[in-house]
Structure 1
Amino acid sequence: MQIRVETFTVHKRFALTISRGTSAESTNVWLILEHDGIEGWGEASPFSVGRPQPTEELVLQLQQIAPQLKSLTPFDQQRIEQILTDANLPSAAQTALDLALHDWRGKYLGLPLWKLWGLERDRIVPTSATIGISSPEAARQRLLHWLQLAPFQAVKVKLGSPSGIMADQEMLKAVQQEVPKGAKVSIDANGGWNLADSISMSHWLAEQGVTYIEQPLDKGQESDLLELYRQSPLPIFVDESCFDSRDIPKLADRVHGINIKLMKSGGLSEALRMIHTAKACGLQIMFGCYSDSALANTAAAHLAPFADHLDLDSHLNLIDDPFVGASLENGCLVPNDLPGLGVQRVHG
């Protein structure tokens, strides 16, 4: 296998603010794997939760591991996974390789991944439109912009404002003025609340008709999830507290669901393990994203039939996404019939 990596920078139409800060652009990694005249594509996007994974490190690690994979083929999955584990490769770098391997195999066999896995696209639930932390009026306008793009049936509101839960409440009430009738609303605090505020907000949010709360407590406060789980009238999901399948059993008695992100998990292979582990533990599943392009979000969309909730909208907020793949149909992100991931370059 021949592997090369390139970087590309994408810019957001609207900067996204969460409890940890604001992002307006991202420099991601495009990995191209070539074998027997077929190319497989993968993506790595940087993030800072847990072990920071900056773009420069992702590129360096992928370049260093490439010579060890040269004598292997895309069908040598177990050997490749062992090499990546032994090298302690960052999860986003593993994701780039894993996506490229899946893409290559699908192209070799001439089938899209969803069909190879025997999944049904009509089971895909609507993806949410994400509203970042801002003033109430700016948040309301942001939802209106999303609704001009597509008839979204789900809205995810980022809370955990540094200004406190009263500011969170005012922002949510403003957004609710524009939420389409029948659309579900979820909340993601990105660890921005303490236990007392989480309990208080869970009751208030339940009165507002919110569907679930994601990551109310910061990573490292998982012990407090037990009390929140006991008192919250709403389901609790975790994101930053759950990276891969090994984390799930430890959380199963204190959450209702997990957020799977390909960059955290290390790719589709581990995401599948997480799905089956979560289901065995009786937990619900959602898929999320970082500043991913259509390449990574299309990859996640192939597993979307397993999900109870989806938040795969990052590429929809980009003004210069170099890739096109899954299409937005009635608010649902649906992978196409092309082989592999079904992703193409925007310009050739």
Structure 2
Amino acid sequence: MQIHLHPFTVHKRVPLTISRGTTAETTNLWLVLDHDGITGWGEASPFSVRGTPQTTEAIAQALQTFLPNLDGYTPFDRQAIEALMDSHNLLSAARTALDLALHDWLGKRAGLPLWKLWGLERDRTVPTSVTIGINTPDAAQQRLVDWLATVPDVQAVKIKLGSPAGLEADQAMFLAVQEKVPAGAKVSVDANGGWDLEGAIAMSHWLGDRGVTYLEQPLPVGWEDALPRLRQESPLPLFADESCFDRQDIPKLAERVDGINIKLMKSGGLSEALRMIHTAQTHGLQIMFGCYSDSALANTAAAHLGAFATHLDLDSHLNLTDDPFHGATMQQGRLLPTEKPGLGVKKSEA
């Protein structure tokens, strides 16, 4: 196998603010794997959750150090390659780039898109949400208006709360955005760990009275022991995001939340995402997929598993001014992978 890394910088059309800060641009990594005349693509994007940030520089260094260990391996050796990644404690985002490329290569070798290779029903895919970051009420409302003007058939809206300005600021922003939500569209809230327990309990009732469908990561990482009380008192289903990286986290959360948010950069790729899905299903948990500052490459990869999800939040690439890739397409508010083999991702036209 020949593997090359290519950094690329993407810029958000509208910077996204959450409880932990604002992101306007990121430099991601494009991994290109060549073997037997077939090329597989993967992506790693930086993120900072729970411990040491996975920066672009750290991910690139991890891959450059690890890749020489793959001499003599082929894309058919996924189990052996996973064992190598385990033994080297490879960063999850670095694992994701390689894992996606291996899956893309295999799908192209088989001549089938991944969703069809796995025997999934693409039409089960639910609509993906568009995300409204923390802002003033007027600016947040305008952000939704802009989304509705650029993305057809929006059927789900995710509102980021957990403002450092407090619960009153959260409520004012929510009410402003709600005024512009299309009739029949589902509304969810993600606090990104921005509330304490009492605030989360109060907001869960306030949001429940206003038709919100679920509440994501209401409490900070490290507050998982407070989740049972919140779940008991909350009228809304609770989803864990930052508190859930991989399948090992799921049994500990199973009695504390109603669902988990799988992100490929946290999980380490599609291989672990599939294991997380089956583990979550075993525990009776709902499943959603989310993203960081991912391009269409990584979001298309996640979309291949969309048939398993109760909720989807794969909109980061829709907010980029310079996405170098094109893959899954928006149809009736749903992000659907195509019939093209592998991931079905191509370079965007200049």
TM value normalised by structure 2: 0.99
* Structure 2 unaligned regions, length at least 5: none
Q: Which residue of structure 2 aligns with residue 130 of structure 1?
A: 131
Pairwise mapping of residues 152-301 of structure 1 onto structure 2 (< 5 A)? 152-301=154-303
2:37 paired with 1:37: yes
Letter matched to residue 286 of structure 1? M
Query: Could you tell me how far apart the structure 2 residues matched to 1:67 and 1:249 are?
Result: 35
Secondary structure of the equivalent of 2:299? helix
Residue 66 (structure 1) shift: 1.2
Alpha-carbon deviations, 1:304-335, whole Å to 9, x = none?
Answer: 00000000000000000000000001110000
How many angstroms does 1:102 deviate by?
0.1
Secondary structure of 2:344's partner? coil
* CA distance in 2 between partners of 1:263 and 1:312 (Å): 13
Paired letter, 1:319? T
Counterparts of 1:160 and 1:70, CA distance in 2: 47
Off by >3 Å, runs of 4+ in structure 1: none
Residue equivalent to 1:84: 85
- What TM-score, normalized to structure 1? 0.99
Aligned CA RMSD, in angstroms, stands at 0.7
Aligned to 2:337: 335
Q: Does 1:145 align with 2:146?
A: yes
Name the CA distance, whole Å, in 2 between partners of 1:187 and 1:25: 23
SS in 2 for 1:179: coil
User: 1:2, 1:66 within 8 Å by CA — same for their partners in 2?
Assistant: no
How far is 1:74 from its partner?
A: 0.5
In structure 2, what is the Cα distance between the partners aligned to 1:11 and 1:77?
33
Maintained 8 Å contact 1:4/1:63: no
User: CA–CA distance in 2 between the matches of 1:276 and 1:29?
Assistant: 29
Deviates more, 1:45-54 or 1:104-113: 45-54
Name the CA distance, whole Å, in 2 between partners of 1:135 and 1:188: 17
1:114 is matched with which residue?
115
Determine whether 1:64 maps to 2:65: yes
What SS does the corresponding residue of 1:33 show, helix, strand or coil?
strand
Cα distance between partner residues in 2 of 1:267 and 1:184: 28
Paired position in structure 1 for 2:56: 55
Q: Deviations over 1:130-184 (max 9, x none)?
A: 0000000001000001101122100000000001011000000000100000000
Output the CA distance in 2 between the equivalents of 1:101 and 1:113.
Answer: 11
CA distance in 2, matches of 1:61, 1:71: 20
| Identity score, percent | 68
| 8 Å contact from structure 1 (residues 298, 341) kept in 2 | yes
Superimposed CA distance per residue, residues 84-104 of structure 1 (whole angstroms, 9 cap, x where no aligned partner): 011111000000000000000
Alpha-carbon distance in 2 for matches of 1:57, 1:198: 34
Q: How far did residue 70 of structure 1 move?
A: 2.1
Distance 1:202 1:100 in 2: 40
The superposition leaves residues 228-248 of structure 1 with CA deviations (integer Å, 9 ceiling, x where unpaired) of 011001000010000000000
Give the structure 1 partner of residue 14 of structure 2. Answer: 14
Say if 1:62 and 1:93, in contact at 8 Å, map to a contact too. yes
- Amino acid paired to 2:128: T
Q: Which residue of 2 aligns with 1:309?
A: 311
